[in-house]
Structure 1
Amino acid sequence: MLQELHVTNFALIDSLHLSFGAGLNILTGETGAGKSIIIDALGLALGERASGGDVVRTGTERATVEAAFDLSGAPPEVRARLAEAGLDGEEDDVLLVARELSRGGGKSQCRINGRLMPVSALKAIADGLVDVHGQHEHQSLLHADRHVDILDDWCGREALDLRAEVAAQLSALNGLRREREQLQTDARERARTLDLYRFQQEEIAGAHLRPAEEEELLADRSRLANAEKLSAAAQEGYAALSGGDRGGGGALDALNAALAAVAHAAALDGSLSGVIEALQGAVSYAEDASHELRDYQEGVEFNPERLEEIESRLDLLRTLKRKYGETVDEIIAYGDELAGKLDRLEHAEAREDELTAAIEKAQAALDRTAAKLTLVRKGVSADFAQRIMRELADLGMAATKFEVSIEPQAPTSRGANRVEFLLSPNPGEPLRPLARIASGGEMSRIMLAMKSVLVRAGGTPTMIFDEVDVGVGGRTAQVIADKLDALAGQAQILCITHLPQIASRADTHFYIEKCVDGGRTTVSVATLDAEGRVEEIARMLGGTRRTEAVVQHAREMLSVG
């Protein structure tokens, strides 16, 4: 049950707080007073999107909507959704919802019991708590494709589970069909693709690529292209160390001379032993470097033919990289991928046979599930129709006959049935589709009858009716008031109305008013006491003409209600 609603800086609302009670909660006010703004704000608390663009009040940066729900009578489906969202361990059986919207569609936040949550999680939970019946929802009965949803709501969990299974099976079946259709498209295109893939595979395979080959080739090219420089540098280094062809005078001779000189001095002063070791090490390192430079210089390769081979190979790699990848490793990977593509294309006929068998199997499974769903629907449709007719009798349509037509059709995500509600409002008249015979007043009563049946079947604990009385009056208004009053004994009802017949039945009555204060228009809400209700019912009865007779009539309606 919805307990509290607090709205700040939303549309024309500065700040308002409503405390709802059990039973029938009525909201009334002049036309254009802002009643629908409150329903829009409540919609945010139920996970709906903000309607009408920027809803943040002019002059402010953020709008907030907070709602509190009593979960003590919540349906099992709501408990399950709370568990899925990790909210099943909350205390006090209270659900606190907060939505915050920033100006210009900026940052938006949704909190459930103080925890940041996605709006989708809030909507999944709220859908099981509140059922909103908009001003023109009864017109949806004119669209036969909505009838199957209403019937399945009545059927309950079994039908909804089967529907979900049908949708999943149909999706899988369509996927198999699309794959087969793809295989069956232009055979010549497949042949052209095969030729292309084979050429590419042969070109890559013929190159005999090796991982890291390009790096090795680049290093070899650098050495061969600079062979003379490398040889000269090695020769110069060797000569500097050993003296080379100069017959002495190299760094090694100088180091050995220094070692000999210090060795004599070390015999006189032991502190020079460290210098001796350093010089000995320097001589050893210099000798090793000299030998390595000599060997390197002798091994430098002068091979123009090999250099030409490397350049040719690098040209091939550049050509392949332009076609198949940015690196040699990517070209090798693409070659491996081609093998799989070729295999699939070359075995397309075998795959097509496999798909045909899989499609037949999937179609049979879908047909079985759809048949089960049909049996569930047909098994409850007569009882559903009988209950609707009993409700319609209470609403002054005792002679009306109502029937659920269930006919076969090609499977969709909602099953393999065309479900349509048929009506005969007068004795002797044949049953016909609702869209062809029902008047506006009849449609409102039929929708109320359905809501009454569904709520008795364990529907949502709170129902919101936004001007369900639109387009009706007189006797129809009275029977709608009676039915809303009866519904309020089974669920919490919030109802926006212009009819005094309905307003007089309120357990809690809110008066909504639009006023101008300091040059700014503001929507405010007051909870009416007994005398306030008399005044409001009188206004609804007489408009601007407030007479004692009108006031007395209002008191009489309230005493009966």
Structure 2
Amino acid sequence: MLRGLEISDMLIIDRLELGFQPGLNVLTGETGAGKSILLDSLGFVLGWRGRADLVRQGAAQGEVTAWFDIPEGHPARAVLEEAGLPVSDELILRRVNTSDGRKTAWVNDRRCSGEMLRSLSETLVELHGQHDDHGLLNPRGHRTILDDFAGLDDARAAARAAWSAMGHARKAHDAAQQAMEAIRAEEDYLRHAVAELDALAPRSGEDAELDQQRRHMQGAEKIRGDVVRAYEGLGHDGAEASMTNAMRWLDAAADRADGRLEAPMAALGRAMVELDDAMEGIVSAIDALSFNPAELEETEERLFAIRGLARKHDVAPDDLSGFADDLRAKLAALDAGDADLAELKRSVAEAEAAYDAAATALTEARKEAARRLDTAVTAELAPLKMDRAVFETQITPETPGPEGRDTVAFSVATNPGAPAGPLNKIASGGELSRFLLALKVCLTRGQVGLTMIFDEIDRGVGGATADAVGRRLAAIAQGGQVLVVTHSPQVAALGAHHWRVEKRVTDGMTTSTVVPLPSSDRVDEIARMLAGDTITDEARGAARALLAG
């Protein structure tokens, strides 16, 4: 709900601060007094696109501040939270326009864009008038308006969920089908590659093992001859034989050497033991260095085969086993693909059937709601002296989407037998205003938290019709807030709060101001609206009668 508006240096407004109240707020004044400037200023702070030359002549900048009450559950809170802006019970919008055209905006003292202001304004204010090019006159929003009237949030949510599920099912099926087609295109390669890999059956780490074995055998081939020759030099025909002979000769001479040979013989014995150990180690080495040349050939052939296959498939040798598993998985998917595709196709069919049911239910609910809305609007048109007019909510098929497959458009025919058409194309100015009012009366029942502005919606009507317009505006304002700019005394008299817009000239400077009217001043203002510049006692009497209801 709009609680206040502060305007500085905008067009012919010097400085102005207004406090608004719940209920029906009426703004009156002579033509040209500046009523439209108030709406231009409010539209400016709400981010609406309008006239560019808003800054008062001679001022460096113009500024407008508006503050709103946004209780718990108000849709503006969700917009603020999504944008990461501060949220409280009071929402303050401020926007500055410099004389060179630059615009800057704040929401609760945080810088923001004009687009953010527009997003908030959609939850805060509705403007209705003859030149309204959004809201009720915009066919793109008629479906949402009808759904809100019918309370179809759950039905729309069901359709959106079914649409999303159908999209996921189709996506999964298409992806699987494309994958199958890609696998089929390389089926011959896959089967040949898997057969080749299965025949070789490489193991992870086998490349390193084979390389080590190959190096070992190649090295053994080079050094085994030297080791054998060393063995032969130490064996029975070499050092061992010489040491044995020496021990025998010393032993024969020991008895005659008076103990001098005991130490040499002991050392020689120890040497023979060490020689025996050395001979055993050499024999073990010779055994370890012994290999079958065919084994080397086999090792090299397998090593080269593994490395050749790795180069062929552009993978590391140790990854061949995993690569083979991947290829086998593709073949398994191919072999099982038809069954999987059939299952995915069944899922698509089930999702499509679920969406069809949800969309059909939504269409039927919209048709039923359209009949109720048409009846309600028709009932409202009669007191507005449009009992021969026809209002119709047309529902036609459109391309399916997340919110169903219906196009909704409000059409009117101003006289029986006349062709129906869009509101803004068929109705005249006064008729259009009354159509909009009747429609809004039906749509706002039970709606809270929104400020509605009606800009001279009573233009072109008077007498009992103007009184009917005023009473419907007052009905809409019950439990909410309506601001109406009016030239109709019948409408002005039904306002709960009344402001008069005045234009003054001081020192050659024209300014516009807004004056709240107490009950006594309201009589003269409504009398002026009835009689013109010269207010008579009869006009005052008529004004009092209107105020008395």
Q: TM-score range by the shorter chain?
A: 0.5 to 0.7
What's the C-alpha RMSD, in Å, of the aligned pairs? 4.1
Question: Which amino acid in structure 2 is aligned with residue 122 of structure 1?
Answer: L
C-alpha spacing 1:439/1:89, structure 2 compared with 1 (3 Å): closer
Aligned equivalent of 1:127, options 122, 126, 132: 122
C-alpha spacing 1:396/1:169, structure 2 compared with 1 (3 Å): farther
Whether 1:137 and 2:135 are equivalent positions in the alignment is: no
- Partner of 2:444, secondary structure, is helix
Structure-2 residue corresponding to 1:383? 372
Q: Is the 8 A contact 1:504 1:557 kept in 2?
A: yes
C-alpha spacing 1:512/1:547, structure 2 compared with 1 (3 Å): same
Q: Is the 8 A contact 1:110 1:119 kept in 2?
A: no
C-alpha spacing 1:414/1:59, structure 2 compared with 1 (3 Å): farther
Q: Is the 8 A contact 2:95 2:103 kept in 1?
A: no
Q: Is the 8 A contact 1:444 1:469 kept in 2?
A: yes
CA displacement, residues 375-405 of structure 1 (integer Å, 9 cap, x when unaligned): 4422422232333234334545567664433
Q: Is the 8 A contact 1:27 1:35 kept in 2?
A: yes
Distance in 2 of aligned mates of 1:167 and 1:513: 56
Query: Identity percentage over the alignment?
Result: 39
Q: Is the 8 A contact 2:448 2:479 kept in 1?
A: no
C-alpha spacing 1:495/1:552, structure 2 compared with 1 (3 Å): same
Structure-1 residue corresponding to 2:83? 85
Distance in 2 of aligned mates of 1:128 and 1:96: 14
Aligned equivalent of 2:439, options 450, 453, 456: 450
- Partner of 1:515, secondary structure, is strand
Structure-2 residue corresponding to 1:52? 51
Question: Which amino acid in structure 1 is aligned with residue 149 of structure 2?
Answer: W
Distance in 1 of aligned mates of 2:366 and 2:20: 37
Whether 1:502 and 2:501 are equivalent positions in the alignment is: no
- Partner of 1:57, secondary structure, is coil
Q: Is the 8 A contact 1:79 1:88 kept in 2?
A: no
Structure-2 residue corresponding to 1:110? 106
- Higher-Rg member (1/2): 2
Question: Which amino acid in structure 2 is aligned with residue 70 of structure 1?
Answer: D
- Partner of 2:100, secondary structure, is helix
Structure-1 residue corresponding to 2:455? 466
Whether 1:99 and 2:95 are equivalent positions in the alignment is: yes
Q: Is the 8 A contact 1:138 1:443 kept in 2?
A: no
Structure-1 residue corresponding to 2:268? none
Distance in 2 of aligned mates of 1:471 and 1:505: 18
Deviation at 1:26, TM superposition (A): 0.7
Q: Is the 8 A contact 2:91 2:107 kept in 1?
A: no
| More off after superposition, 101-110 vs 551-560 | 101-110
Is there any run of 5+ residues in structure 1 with no aligned partner, and where?
Answer: 176-353
Q: Is the 8 A contact 2:149 2:443 kept in 1?
A: yes
Aligned equivalent of 2:521, options 520, 529, 532: 532
Structure-2 residue corresponding to 1:67? 66
Distance in 1 of aligned mates of 2:527 and 2:166: 58
Distance in 1 of aligned mates of 2:468 and 2:145: 23
Is there any run of 5+ residues in structure 2 with no aligned partner, and where?
Answer: 172-340
Question: Which amino acid in structure 2 is aligned with residue 408 of structure 1?
Answer: P
CA displacement, residues 60-97 of structure 1 (integer Å, 9 cap, x when unaligned): 2221111121223x65423322332345652xx22222
C-alpha spacing 1:135/1:405, structure 2 compared with 1 (3 Å): closer
Give the alignment of 1:277-426 within 5 angstroms.
370-371=359-360, 373-397=362-386, 402-411=391-400, 416-421=405-410
Deviation at 1:27, TM superposition (A): 0.7
C-alpha spacing 1:170/1:528, structure 2 compared with 1 (3 Å): farther
Q: Is the 8 A contact 2:129 2:433 kept in 1?
A: no
Q: Is the 8 A contact 2:2 2:66 kept in 1?
A: yes
Structure-1 residue corresponding to 2:37? 37
Question: Which amino acid in structure 1 is aligned with residue 24 of structure 2?
Answer: L
Q: Is the 8 A contact 1:131 1:460 kept in 2?
A: no
Q: Is the 8 A contact 1:139 1:443 kept in 2?
A: no
Give the alignment of 1:182-221 within 5 angstroms.
none
Q: Is the 8 A contact 1:24 1:493 kept in 2?
A: yes
The normalised TM-score by structure 1 is: 0.58
Q: Is the 8 A contact 1:144 1:419 kept in 2?
A: yes
C-alpha spacing 1:109/1:489, structure 2 compared with 1 (3 Å): closer
Distance in 2 of aligned mates of 1:390 and 1:129: 28
- How many residue pairs get aligned? The number is 378
Deviation at 1:43, TM superposition (A): 1.3
Give the alignment of 1:485-496 within 5 angstroms.
485-496=474-485
Distance in 1 of aligned mates of 2:48 and 2:24: 23
Distance in 2 of aligned mates of 1:410 and 1:416: 6
Distance in 1 of aligned mates of 2:161 and 2:463: 47
C-alpha spacing 1:17/1:552, structure 2 compared with 1 (3 Å): same
C-alpha spacing 1:98/1:162, structure 2 compared with 1 (3 Å): farther
Structure-1 residue corresponding to 2:194? none
- Partner of 2:478, secondary structure, is coil
Deviation at 1:503, TM superposition (A): 0.8
Question: Which amino acid in structure 2 is aligned with residue 494 of structure 1?
Answer: L
Question: Which amino acid in structure 2 is aligned with residue 80 of structure 1?
Answer: A
Deviation at 1:554, TM superposition (A): 1.5
CA displacement, residues 224-264 of structure 1 (integer Å, 9 cap, x when unaligned): xxxxxxxxxxxxxxxxxxxxxxxxxxxxxxxxxxxxxxxxx
CA displacement, residues 156-200 of structure 1 (integer Å, 9 cap, x when unaligned): 53476579789999999xx9xxxxxxxxxxxxxxxxxxxxxxxxx
C-alpha spacing 1:76/1:62, structure 2 compared with 1 (3 Å): same
- Partner of 1:128, secondary structure, is helix
Deviation at 1:466, TM superposition (A): 1.0
Distance in 2 of aligned mates of 1:108 and 1:19: 24
The normalised TM-score by structure 2 is: 0.59
C-alpha spacing 1:463/1:164, structure 2 compared with 1 (3 Å): farther
Distance in 1 of aligned mates of 2:113 and 2:160: 23
Question: Which amino acid in structure 1 is aligned with residue 396 of structure 2?
Answer: E
C-alpha spacing 1:407/1:89, structure 2 compared with 1 (3 Å): closer
Distance in 2 of aligned mates of 1:494 and 1:145: 25
Give the alignment of 1:261-272 within 5 angstroms.
none
Distance in 1 of aligned mates of 2:544 and 2:519: 10
